[in-house]
Amino acid sequence: MKRIISIWLLGIMLLQGTGNCWIVGAFYLNRDYIASQLCINRFDLIPVCKGSCFLDRKINENEKRQEKTPDIKLKEITLFCMAYEYTPAAQVSTGNHIAFCDYQSPYSPRQWCGQLFRPPSATA
């Protein structure tokens, strides 16, 4: 079901995005009918435009219809932060002191040369 809906939505988006192409294609398929019946200059003895005036009018209508679509404006959200004062709690001593050693990763070098890892000194 999701696949059918996604293909349907993709088709609608393609049709909407290529609106002028469909208008031009329909114009060239019906050019003789448009030139003889719908053209503004059809009563002239020597028709010059051959229906291109009808094509221009339809493309302008399509562009105006696309401009009419409302711009989606997002709501403005004001972010705020409240500062809290942090006071650490007193440490409770139980009398048993356990000493922990620092963690050493097995991937860290154990014997490394200090000269290799020293940055060069600036001489000026």
pLDDT, tens digit, 9 for 90 and up, residues 29-53? 888 888 888 888 777 777 778 888 8
Q: 19 and 66 in contact (C-beta within 8 Å)?
A: yes
pLDDT at 4: 93
Look at the pTM and tell me if it is higher than 0.75.
no
The number of helices, as runs of H, and strands, as runs of E, in the chain is 4, 0
Q: 22 and 2 in contact (C-beta within 8 Å)?
A: no
Average pLDDT over residues 89-106: 69
Average pLDDT over residues 6-25: 86
Is residue 5 situated within a structural domain? no
Is residue 28 situated within a structural domain? yes
Is residue 46 situated within a structural domain? yes
**Number of domains making up the chain:** 1
Domain, as residue range, for 38? 20-66
Is residue 116 situated within a structural domain? no
Is residue 8 situated within a structural domain? no
Q: 23 and 62 in contact (C-beta within 8 Å)?
A: yes
Examine the pLDDT at 14 and tell me if it is beyond 80: yes
Is residue 7 situated within a structural domain? no
Handedness of CA 10, 16, 20, 23 (dihedral sign): positive
Examine the pLDDT at 8 and tell me if it is beyond 70: yes
What is the percentage of the chain residues whose pLDDT exceeds 90?
6
Is residue 26 situated within a structural domain? yes
Confidence of residue 6 (pLDDT cuts 50, 70, 90): very high
Is residue 77 situated within a structural domain? no
